[in-house]
Structure 1
């Protein structure tokens, strides 16, 4: 139950952070390209890589704090960071084909899902 609470509290922080940063970036740079999403996804990807590496070296047994930071905060901030980490892990573990497949399928299915959702909601 404490793990669920850790993820939930982290998710709250991550989603609020995403909203605030997105609002700020869109005010500063109001263009049609989703600059705020790109910035958020790059930051989240960078941070999830850094946090997981630091924890594996410094705090390998503190799983709850890792859940709070990665699944909670960064998962709420962006789910793209998880996708990036999983793809890099596949590649680093010698699963190049699965890493490429993960990229291709994720992009294809996510874009298709967005189009389908928009079509169904129209």
Structure 2
């Protein structure tokens, strides 16, 4: 996929890439009562889960964007947090970025087939 889907910048953190504005976005969604935060335990570990209170407005997305989202969910949704973290560490943008630095979006064009969603003809 050749355009940023989220419009967000990501930072290289120890467990994987993280959106820079995540905390502000979550706070804004909570303030607008669009999400609720649940504190749960998963396999004995505390976890925060954010649950949407609204249906997503998919009219804002193109057919290709929806396809990429659905393919990614199908490919990764069976993974737990440890597996997702390990998977992200195989991705070229994460590998090529120094710790705590912003990941350059252009690095997505150097992904290998394992992590790429780009279609080649």
Return the structure number with greater helix share.
1
TM-score range, shorter chain: under 0.3
Greater fraction of residues in strand? 2
